[in-house]
């Protein structure tokens, strides 16, 4: 899953733009680079980010979705936790809603997804983007994340979303300190077994990688990302969300070969 951020404050890219044409070109390039999916977001949810209202999010997002209509062949995921944004996005061609809040911020999103027939990604986090690290307290990180994601899955099913359309994301870097994120990566098979749903893992260029590789800026963390992506694939991830698609495609294919020959 390649990433397109239509925001002025993306943490991980040197190019930050609200210009629809640049975002459209980026999505088309991600497809040509070999990605299977593209995830488009119009609100930064990095730690410390300030929220954006639905009207502004749609102002940024809809021109990109409309510009990709009939041009992009791979499925589009929209990165939003707002039901009104999700409704407009699926009407404009998105087929996956990627909710970083796990339905905690806007439970009405479940009904929107259910009626549209879209797939739903439920990510684990705690608290707001501005204060998530205050919530990074765990007894056993995998047990706690599993329990909280199971609750999100149940909320989605109760809201009408078919179980087979639900993907779970352990939320690397969200309300987790570095040791928690590494712990999740190391124990992904436990999470996958406990939840029984496909896993999406997004570790690309995140700040937890600095604990191992030093204080590098986000665009210089691709080697560290490659190690995390390898661990994710070997741990059973079905989707990895990345910035550097051509490089990570090689990483994923190699890791898949290793995994395939381990059985």
- Residue 14: the pLDDT is 44
Distance from C-alpha of 198 to C-alpha of 94, rounded to nearest angstrom: 19
Q: Which residue is catalytic, options 46, 60, 221, 241?
A: 241
**What average pLDDT score do residues 79-86 get?**
98
Cα(251)–Cα(222) distance, rounded to whole angstroms? 11
For 227-253, what is the mean pLDDT? 97
CA–CA gap between residue 232 and residue 238 (Å, rounded) = 9
Q: In the chain, how many domains are there? A: 1
Report the percentage of the chain scoring pLDDT > 90. Answer: 86
Cβ neighbours, 10 Å, residue 193: 10
Give the helix/strand (H/E) hosting 85: helix 83-91
Clarify whether 206 is annotated catalytic.
yes
The CATH number given to whatever domain includes residue 177 is: 3.20.20.20
Does residue 76 contact residue 135 with C-beta atoms inside 8 Å? Answer: no
Enter the tokens of residue 152: 């999100």
Q: Which of 46, 206, 253, 259 is catalytic?
A: 206
Mean pLDDT, residues 200-220 = 93
pLDDT band at 33, cuts 50/70/90?
very high
Whole-number Å distance between alpha carbons of 94 and 40: 9
Q: What mean pLDDT comes out for the span 12-41?
A: 86
Burial of 247 (C-beta count, 10 Å sphere; 0-12/13-18/19+): middle
- pLDDT given at position 12: 53
Domain range spanning residue 26? 2-260
Compute the distance between CA of residue 76 and CA of residue 54 in angstroms, rounded to an integer: 19
- Catalytic residue status for 60: no
SS3 content of the chain, % helix, strand, coil (to 5): 50, 10, 40
Contacts with 30 (C-beta within 8 Å, 6 or more apart), sequence order: 2, 3, 4, 38, 245
Q: Is the pLDDT of residue 16 over 70?
A: no
Band (133; pLDDT cuts 50, 70, 90): confident
pLDDT band for position 240 (50/70/90)? very high
pLDDT band for 160, please (50, 70, 90 cuts): very high
Identify the weakest region by mean pLDDT among 8-17, 29-38, 188-197.
Answer: 8-17
Per-residue pLDDT for 178 more than 80?
yes
Supply the pTM of this predicted model.
0.94
Please report, for residues 72, 85, 106, the alpha-carbon distance to residue 42 in angstroms, rounded to integers and kept in the order given.
Answer: 18, 10, 17
Q: Helix, strand or coil for residue 188?
A: helix
User: Whole-angstrom Cα distance, residue 96 to residue 82?
Assistant: 13
Largest CA distance in the chain: 50
What would the DSSP string read from start to end of 208-256? GGHHHH-S--GGG-HHHHHHHHHHHHHTT-SEE-BS-HHHHHHHHHHHH
Judge contact between 7 and 41, C-beta under 8 A: yes
Q: And the tokens for 82? A: 């707002």
């Amino acid at each position: 899953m390649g990433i397109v951020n239509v925001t002025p404050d993306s943490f991980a890219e040197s190019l930050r733009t609200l210009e629809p044409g640049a975002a459209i070109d980026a999505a088309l390039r991600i497809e040509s680079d070999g990605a299977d999916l593209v995830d488009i977001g119009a609100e930064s949810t990095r730690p410390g980010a300030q929220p954006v209202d639905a009207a502004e999010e749609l102002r940024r997002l809809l021109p990109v979705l409309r510009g990709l209509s009939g041009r992009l062949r791979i499925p589009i995921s929209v990165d939003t936790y707002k039901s009104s944004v999700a409704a407009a996005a699926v009407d404009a061609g998105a087929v996956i809603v990627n909710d970083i809040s796990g339905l905690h911020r806007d439970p009405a999103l479940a009904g929107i997804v259910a009626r549209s027939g879209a797939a739903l990604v439920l990510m684990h986090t705690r608290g707001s983007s501005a204060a998530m690290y205050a919530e990074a307290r765990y007894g056993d990180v995998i047990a706690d994340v599993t329990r909280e994601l199971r609750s999100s899955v149940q909320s989605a099913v109760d809201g009408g979303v078919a179980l087979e359309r639900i993907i779970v994301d352990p939320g690397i870097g969200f309300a987790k300190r570095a040791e928690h994120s590494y712990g999740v990566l190391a124990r992904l098979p436990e999470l996958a077994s406990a939840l029984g749903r496909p896993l999406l893992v997004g570790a690309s260029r995140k700040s937890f990688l600095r604990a191992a590789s030093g204080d590098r800026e986000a665009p210089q963390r691709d080697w560290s990302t490659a190690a995390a992506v390898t661990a994710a694939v070997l741990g059973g991830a079905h989707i990895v969300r990345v910035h550097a698609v051509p490089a990570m495609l090689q990483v994923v294919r190699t890791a898949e070969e290793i995994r395939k020959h381990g059985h």
